[in-house]
A and B are shown apart, each in its own frame.
Chain A
């Protein structure tokens, strides 16, 4: 336990110390919320626009932190030989991974709190209907996307390619899943893609919890899809994840 706490502290120190990644991972989603929130008004799908936007950004933040941020971080550390070096220490690999995930969850939690607070203070957003419903949804989302993040990291071969590949996955997904507004007006073929993306289901769950106070139990299908994607990511990771640089 103490070695886990020690490593969680290390992870947090490294995360906040690295300004580029802290800005990209932590600041980017709330910043998008501020920009879009200044433009949107009226209703989206019968919900006040700013509330619907907040819901979408919470989903996007989850993908950006747990999938994009985690995948890029792992690839950079792997290619730099940091993961390989750690393997020669008594730090157990499972403890390391657990600390990395816990650190990611912590960053995500702070980010969500900051985003909601900005919405409440600046844009008169409504508070979540039920925190008790919302928190488990976000936790499930973060874990599922972290599974995808580790899986994606296992497939990326080089440090140079990491951020390009990850953004190529995350940004279109966010757009197609309705992170930045309703997908109701999208053409059918885009909606068909949207219907298989994990973020679509996460945003549905977040919306249900935030706006209507519904819990995970109320939408087992969405939960199943998210869990399925998370497990798929982990499956790829168990087959392909490596601790040593791929290049050279």
Chain B
């Protein structure tokens, strides 16, 4: 039996003023999955997510979110989704609890407000005005407000941009707890470690095209594993290889035969960052 995807995207295209922001991408997000859209700024992540959220029409392709074309999504459809936008504020003079109540009132079957406030870890701030919250607390408020309608599917557009490392870790725990509640999550990020930590599957987007898709483990396995660096005639040489033993043996063999030293020789495993940068730079390099 095949599972109906929560999100289905085929051949999605979107241009702004003649510039193609999204150039024909395909992916599925399965129910209960945390799916990461990973890419540098300007790659088309937000455009893609905002099409899925129903904010803008597409120029071409097919999009289905919980079985609905989001551009024609009704109030009924919006009952089932939660949204954390990249930039949005909430009424500054209301308290955390009041903002949650305000949003809860828009849904037919909201979750208990105090329960959501606790879930996002703002119980100490429940009566504090929004304007007194720190950046990280405001982001948690955004998340609480996205969850108060008890959605099946949650969009998180760069949920931790600008966070300090400990706030990011707290946010990650939160996303994991959402996952354990069975929510489907579409997350965009330009942090590779975030995608690695949170996502069941990751799609890497660059310049509006989807260049890789798979589990974080598969993405790393795709890339050359080891990087060898040394200097030759004052020039830095960098070799990336899946066969470090053979390459090193050849290099050192030649150097020994010629009676030369391989200056500054360094062998290291490719980090996740290298893999990602390699993917994103592929065509330029």
Interface positions of A (Cβ within 8 A of B):
3, 6-7, 10, 13-14, 17-18, 80-82, 84-85, 87-92, 244-245, 248
Contacts and interface: CB of A to CB of B under 8 A. Distances in A.
A18 B93 CA distance: 6
15 contacts: A14-B93, A17-B93, A81-B88, A84-B55, A85-B83, A85-B88, A87-B55, A88-B78, A88-B85, A89-B103, A89-B107, A90-B108, A90-B149, A245-B87, A248-B87
In this complex, the member of A84, A85, A89, A248 whose beta carbon has the largest number of chain B beta carbons within 10 angstroms is: A89
Contacts of A90: 75-76, 78-79, 106-108, 149
Nearest to A91: B106
What 6 A-B pairs have minimum CB-CB distances, sorted nearest first? A81-B88, A17-B93, A88-B83, A6-B105, A90-B75, A80-B89
B85 A89 contact: no
Contacts of B53: 88
Interface string B96-112: 00100011011110000
A248 B86 CA distance: 12
Interface string B201-244: 00000000000000000000000000000000000000000000
Contact of B85 (A7, A17, A84, A92): A84
Contacts of B103: 89
Given A7-B105, A89-B78, A91-B106, A80 B88 contact: yes
Nearest to B99: A10
B87 A81 contact: yes
A3 B105 contact: yes
B54 interface: yes
B91 A14 contact: yes
Nearest to A14: B91
B106 A3 contact: yes
Contacts of B93: 14, 17-18
Interface string B71-87: 00001101101010101
Contacts of A87: 55
Nearest to B77: A90
Contacts of A88: 53-55, 78, 81, 83, 85
B94 interface: yes
Nearest to B89: A80
A92 B106 CA distance: 9
Contact of A13 (B78, B83, B90, B94): B94
Contacts of A244: 55
Interface string B55-66: 100000000000
Nearest to B86: A81
B55 A82 contact: no
A203 B92 CA distance: 36
A13 to B, nearest CB: 7
Contacts of A248: 87
Contacts of B81: 88
Given A80-B88, A88-B85, 6 more contacts: A13-B94, A82-B90, A84-B88, A85-B85, A89-B106, A91-B75
Given A88-B78, A92-B75, A13 B105 contact: no
Contacts of A10: 102, 105
A146 B78 CA distance: 29
A80 B108 CA distance: 26
B88 A82 contact: yes
Contacts of A7: 105
B68 to A, nearest CB: 13
B94 to A, nearest CB: 7
A32 B93 CA distance: 27
Contacts of A89: 78, 103, 106-107, 149
In this complex, the member of B76, B78, B87, B106 whose beta carbon has the largest number of chain A beta carbons within 10 angstroms is: B106
Nearest to B95: A17
A166 B90 CA distance: 23
A82 B87 CA distance: 10
B151 to A, nearest CB: 10
A7 B107 CA distance: 12
A89 B142 CA distance: 13
